[in-house]
Amino acid sequence: MPGKELTAWLDEYALSHQNPTNIIIHKICVPAITLTIIAMLWRLPIIPKHIRNTISIGKSGLINPSLIFIPVLAFYWNLSSSMAIGMTILFLLVIILLIIMEKNHARIFRLALIVFILAWIGQFIGHEIEGKKPAFFKDLQFLLIGPLWTLSHVYKFFGIDY
């Protein structure tokens, strides 16, 4: 729904996440899924190397499919500038981690795929415990809200307004 407020999104998302076990599972699995999506996009070889390496740090080309996350950050900015800043910081930390992993010849895509699958299994176990379908079955935009829901708990813990 265009124009929907952040609190409305978070409140609606929270309706599917009331069970304490499911909440814990989601606080682990949602960040894992977010991180692994960025990592898998980072390693997708769909951009020619000469373009990918146009902007680089060491041998890590920064022009890659993970940049699709930038419009997601714009969506977050429309909901809350402080949440968008938090997600941008997290995105940059993930990129730094990926550059370090790449430098150390880690099998990023394989590792990310394994963690991605395990995290989704965890998500569905959490919803089985909850007894409710995942929120994204109702609206795919909830796939973008999950990371904000998790971050909102961190913000609340530290007393940061969003």
Residue 31: is its pLDDT beyond 80?
A: yes
How far apart (Å, rounded) are the C-alpha atoms in residues 153 and 157?
6
In a domain, 3, yes or no: no
Overall average pLDDT of the 30-49 stretch: 89
Residue 34: is its pLDDT beyond 60?
A: yes
Domain count, the chain: 1
Overall average pLDDT of the 57-84 stretch: 86
Q: What are phi and psi of 34, to 5 degrees?
A: -60, -50
Residue 124: per-residue pLDDT: 93
Q: Which of 22-31, 43-52, 66-75 has the lowest mean pLDDT?
A: 43-52
Note down the domain range covering 150.
Answer: 11-155
Residue 24: is its pLDDT beyond 70?
A: yes
Residue 56: per-residue pLDDT: 66
| 2 φ/ψ sector (left φ>0, alpha ψ -120 to 50, else beta) | beta
How sure is the predictor about 1, in pLDDT bands with cuts at 50, 70 and 90?
very low
In a domain, 162, yes or no: no
In a domain, 56, yes or no: yes
How far apart (Å, rounded) are the C-alpha atoms in residues 35 and 39?
6
Overall average pLDDT of the 151-161 stretch: 96
In a domain, 2, yes or no: no
In a domain, 5, yes or no: no
Q: Residue 43: which of 121, 87, 119, 105 has the closest Cα?
A: 105
What is the percentage of the chain residues whose pLDDT exceeds 70? 91
In a domain, 1, yes or no: no
61: helix, coil or strand?
strand
In a domain, 161, yes or no: no
Residue 143: is its pLDDT beyond 50?
A: yes
For 20, other C-beta atoms within 10 Å of its C-beta total: 9
Asked if residue 48 lies in contact with residue 131, where contact means CB atoms within 8 angstroms, the answer is: no
Residue 53: is its pLDDT beyond 80?
A: no
For 101-121, what is each residue's pLDDT tens digit? Answer: 999 999 999 999 999 999 999
